[in-house]
Structure 1
Amino acid sequence: MRWRGRWRGASLSRRLLLGAALFIALALLLATFAIGFALHRFVQGQIDQRLDTQIVFLQSQLHMAEDGTLRLSGAVDGPPFDRPQRGWYWQVEGPRNTLRAASLEDRALALPRVPPKPPHRPPGPPPPEPTDVRPADGPGPDGMRLHYRVLQIVVGGAPVTILATAPRDAVMGPLRAAMGTLALSLIALGGALVLAMVLQVRLGLRPLERLRRDIAGVRDGSIDRIPDDQPREVQPVVDEINALLAQNAANLERARAHVANLAHGLKTPLATLALAVSERKGGDSAAGDLAALTGLMERRIRHHLGRARMAALNGPARARTALAPRIADLVVVQRKIYAERHLTFDVAVGADVAVACEQQDLDEMAGNLLDNACKWARTVIRIRAAADGPIVRLSIEDDGPGLSEQEMAQALRPGARLDESAPGFGFGLPIARELAELYGGELMLQNAADGGLRATLTLPRAAGAA
């Protein structure tokens, strides 16, 4: 069972490579046996044909003399049967004498055990055919392993046995040489097939690697969905993933709307109640208790709304918003709102700066800060943004009157308004701070060098941002 689990957990490329390698090895092994068998039969057939020709020639020259001995009508020791101790021999055994090849040099061939004789032919004197010759293997007179061809006939009414032999190495020698060359060829072929298989697997699985990169891009927010130009086999998976992404985006938008509605439905009345209680408490202990309870409720609501918002966002990892175009759009809106004041906007935001933040939240944070700067600026608003390692710092600075340390702390409290004559409800800066904290960032207020107020918003940098 353990090996099954390991096999299921193995990579696709490893499975394909291992399966193809086993198949190639088995195919080459079977091909080696098949080709070796075919070569053996071919070489053996050539040797048998040479021996059978010699036997037929001996039979044609053979006759029975008047004294009952066997005689040959002519010379029959042609090549290679004229070479001594080479294994190419012939021998004719009769009832009274035995004829031998000159290459035997007066030595005798021992008749080996031969297969059973074929069925008896019908009566008549048809000449023997090579198909009547039976094969056998055995040792020769000098210990050499020989291959025999044996024919048993009747000459002058007497049984005669004709033998012709060839060295067994005449078959195995060429076969070994051929198989050696064949083995090298098959090894080279196997190597080429394995290389082609590796290339095929790599090319075949390349779309999966591209799909992995696309999914990583969706996760880090660099792309919204996986591109549709995929191979036909991968396209159904891509369609399902894109459908899931669209469904999650719709669910996220609904969750964001619910959280926003809950935030506006609870926080504004609660902040108003807190202000009313603080104005009336004076020396009233009951009003002081109500103020404490109101503060506790406000903290708990902030805590649970923050958790709900982060759960809806599923963390800032996927969120990615380019900063420059959002700041440009917000500046256009503020120019129209405060057109009668003729404010100058000095913007320096890199085109490659992006934050791990939803666009709506960025618009709300930066919009509140920019709106606050426009309310108090005399002539100029400076906007700067730059990446600093894993974070992005966005600063919005005005040339207004600025704030004291105490006023800065009060400005970040919900519902606290430093100037009742200015429009608004005092929730802009606290909302921007809360949103920044939800994303793991912060909002800091400090006086600028020329006396105005500088609001610095710190947010996490988007993954993959330059």
Structure 2
Amino acid sequence: MADDPAAAPAKAPLRRGVAARGSLALRLMLVSAVWSAIALAVAGLVLTELYRTDIVRGFDARLEVYQKTIAGRVAATPAGETPDPGSLGEPRFLLPLTGWYWMIRDAVSGTTVAASRSLYGELLDVPSPPPDGTPTAAFVRGPVDADLRLSVQRVTVGERRYDVVVTGNADEIRTDVAAFGRRVFVTLAVLAAGLLVASVLQVRIGLRPLERMRAALADIRAGRNTRLPSDLPSEIAPLGQELNALIETNVAVVERARGHVGNLAHALKTPLSVMLNEARAEDGPLAGKVVEQVQLMRAQVDRHLDRARVAAERRVVGAAADLGRSLEGLANVLRRAHADRAVDIVVTAPPALRARIERRDLEDVVGNLMDNACKYGRGRVRVAARGETDALAARPMVTVTVEDDGPGVPETRYAEVLGRGRRLDETVPGSGLGLAIADEIVEAYGGTMMLGRSELGGLAVAVRLPQS
């Protein structure tokens, strides 16, 4: 069909935007990823804090060992003499301002009795310890604004009372904790990556039965199967059973409708045929009028029975027609039917392209269009089928376009041609299905029919149907 703007469709298809649909798999993976990230972050903080607490406890135990050693030296020093614990086996007590200090203070006067060389003349601001001799630990600021870990204990030697103070450089604690935190971060990052991969695999494997069900439903819709498989997981097996029951009920309803349509056709056509035969056996204007009206009644009965049949068949799950096979079959039939005119019919259709329509209905619609093109054209007919994906459509569609090189139809008559109860040409014999009937069949399957100007010079009719 030509892209001429003047060739606007007589009936525009009803379109609706496809709402954005969230992915269930993505939701599950996001929830798992967010929860894993929060859990691992909390675990990392807790582990780091536990390690820090353990490091500080070990550091305090080390300071207390120095503290007890100093207390022993104080107790062994005669009264009146200055105790000198020395380096205590730690060279940093001898180096200036290393953060490793010891100090002995008179608990009564508050004067410093002795101090390590590392203090280099500086003094420490030390809180008073409990009088019961319990060691007290705290973080304090030392000389040159260094952070220190301090342990102070009151020691009683006879009538003398001393506060024994030992400090260590707190940077060692921070450095050790920071190194552990980095190792924990790397370890948890690797664990998070593994959990993410495991989550993706879990979601994909867990949702695979739903994908299998979707594929099974697609097979049913395409006519390759009639039921969902019975070996579904227990969580979705009830859903599969309900869908199978729905399909069976649908088929039963359609079969009953077909039976009613057949019974009605038999019940109406037989009396009409009797009336027509009796009227034809008589002469006179009344008999002629009866014949005329009975023929009109038969045409109306056929029309409405066809509409009822189509309405029933379109509800059959799995209705699908192979476009290439049907179009080639119609072209062969019409070439023989119009052999005297040597009509050139060219069919173009991709292989395996299928439409969501009963094969008989597709051949009725397209056969009527192709027959009209052969009768009203000058000898050239082009039939093309193509699949298309419209972002505004709810599902993929197929379009079958029939073009001829005849005189065409004026654009002002497009709506009239597709109007209900109207035929393109009542005087030309045909299949009995006018364009209005064909349009009703297409509409019953959720499709549209559009008229336009053909590139060959005549009429172009485009039939748009859901793709199977």
Question: Normalization by structure 2: what TM-score?
Answer: 0.63
**Structure 1 residue identity aligned to 2:105:** E
Contact 1:61 1:74 in 2 (8 A): no
Higher-RCO chain (CA-CA 8 Å, sequence separation at least 6): 2
1:93-132 → structure 2 map (5 Å cutoff): 93-94=105-106, 95=109, 97-112=112-127, 117=130, 120=132, 132=134
Stretch deviating more after TM superposition (80-89 or 211-220): 80-89
Contact 1:316 1:357 in 2 (8 A): no
Larger gyration radius, structure 1 or structure 2: 1
Are residue 261 (structure 1) and residue 263 (structure 2) matched? yes
Per-residue CA shift, 1:160-184, capped at 9, x if unaligned?
Answer: 1011101111111110111012112
Tell me which of 177, 181, 189 is aligned to 1:179.
181
Distance 1:462 1:224 in 2: 19
Distance 1:53 1:111 in 2: 19
Contact 1:319 1:356 in 2 (8 A): yes
**Structure 2 residue identity aligned to 1:12:** L
Contact 2:92 2:118 in 1 (8 A): no
Are residue 83 (structure 1) and residue 105 (structure 2) matched? no
Cα pair distance change 1:316/1:226, threshold 3 Å: closer
Cα pair distance change 1:156/1:75, threshold 3 Å: farther
| SS of the residue 1:60 aligns to | helix
Tell me which of 205, 212, 230 is aligned to 1:228.
230
> What's the counterpart of residue 134 of structure 1?
136
Are residue 25 (structure 1) and residue 37 (structure 2) matched? yes
Cα pair distance change 1:227/1:73, threshold 3 Å: closer
Per-residue CA shift, 1:282-322, capped at 9, x if unaligned?
Answer: 4x2x2233223212322221222122111211257732589
Tell me which of 156, 159, 162 is aligned to 2:158.
156
| SS of the residue 2:163 aligns to | strand
Distance 2:241 2:139 in 1: 71
Distance 1:87 1:254 in 2: 97
**Structure 1 residue identity aligned to 2:239:** V
Are residue 56 (structure 1) and residue 68 (structure 2) matched? yes
Measured after TM superposition, the shift of residue 430 of structure 1 is: 7.4
Cα pair distance change 1:298/1:84, threshold 3 Å: same
Measured after TM superposition, the shift of residue 77 of structure 1 is: 5.3
Distance 1:10 1:356 in 2: 27
Tell me which of 1, 12, 16 is aligned to 2:28.
16
Cα pair distance change 1:193/1:72, threshold 3 Å: same
Measured after TM superposition, the shift of residue 93 of structure 1 is: 0.8
Measured after TM superposition, the shift of residue 39 of structure 1 is: 0.7
> What's the counterpart of residue 202 of structure 1?
204
Are residue 296 (structure 1) and residue 296 (structure 2) matched? yes
Measured after TM superposition, the shift of residue 274 of structure 1 is: 2.3
**Structure 1 residue identity aligned to 2:312:** A
**Structure 2 residue identity aligned to 1:139:** R
> What's the counterpart of residue 319 of structure 1?
319
Give the aligned length.
Answer: 346
Measured after TM superposition, the shift of residue 15 of structure 1 is: 2.1
Per-residue CA shift, 1:346-367, capped at 9, x if unaligned?
Answer: xxxxxx99997769x79xx9xx
Cα pair distance change 1:249/1:151, threshold 3 Å: same
Tell me which of 157, 165, 168 is aligned to 2:167.
165
Tell me which of 36, 50, 54 is aligned to 1:42.
54
Distance 2:282 2:197 in 1: 86
Measured after TM superposition, the shift of residue 224 of structure 1 is: 1.0
Cα pair distance change 1:168/1:66, threshold 3 Å: closer
Distance 1:137 1:293 in 2: 112
Stretch deviating more after TM superposition (75-84 or 153-162): 75-84
Cα pair distance change 1:262/1:187, threshold 3 Å: same
1:186-197 → structure 2 map (5 Å cutoff): 186-197=188-199
| SS of the residue 2:178 aligns to | helix
Contact 1:354 1:461 in 2 (8 A): no
Distance 1:10 1:461 in 2: 27
> What's the counterpart of residue 373 of structure 2?
none
Contact 2:152 2:163 in 1 (8 A): yes
Cα pair distance change 1:91/1:50, threshold 3 Å: same
Distance 1:37 1:13 in 2: 36
Contact 1:134 1:150 in 2 (8 A): yes
Distance 1:437 1:138 in 2: 92
| SS of the residue 1:62 aligns to | helix
Measured after TM superposition, the shift of residue 229 of structure 1 is: 2.6
Cα pair distance change 1:153/1:108, threshold 3 Å: same
Contact 1:281 1:288 in 2 (8 A): yes
Contact 1:133 1:150 in 2 (8 A): yes
Cα pair distance change 1:147/1:97, threshold 3 Å: closer
Distance 2:139 2:466 in 1: 84
State the superposition RMSD in angstroms: 4.1
Measured after TM superposition, the shift of residue 158 of structure 1 is: 2.3
Per-residue CA shift, 1:236-263, capped at 9, x if unaligned?
Answer: 1111101111111111111111111111
Measured after TM superposition, the shift of residue 197 of structure 1 is: 0.7
Distance 2:440 2:121 in 1: 112
> What's the counterpart of residue 379 of structure 1?
none
Contact 2:103 2:112 in 1 (8 A): no
Distance 1:300 1:151 in 2: 113
> What's the counterpart of residue 339 of structure 2?
none
| SS of the residue 2:145 aligns to | coil
Contact 1:356 1:462 in 2 (8 A): yes
**Structure 1 residue identity aligned to 2:213:** L
1:392-407 → structure 2 map (5 Å cutoff): none
Distance 2:277 2:221 in 1: 43
| SS of the residue 2:282 aligns to | helix
Question: Normalization by structure 1: what TM-score?
Answer: 0.63
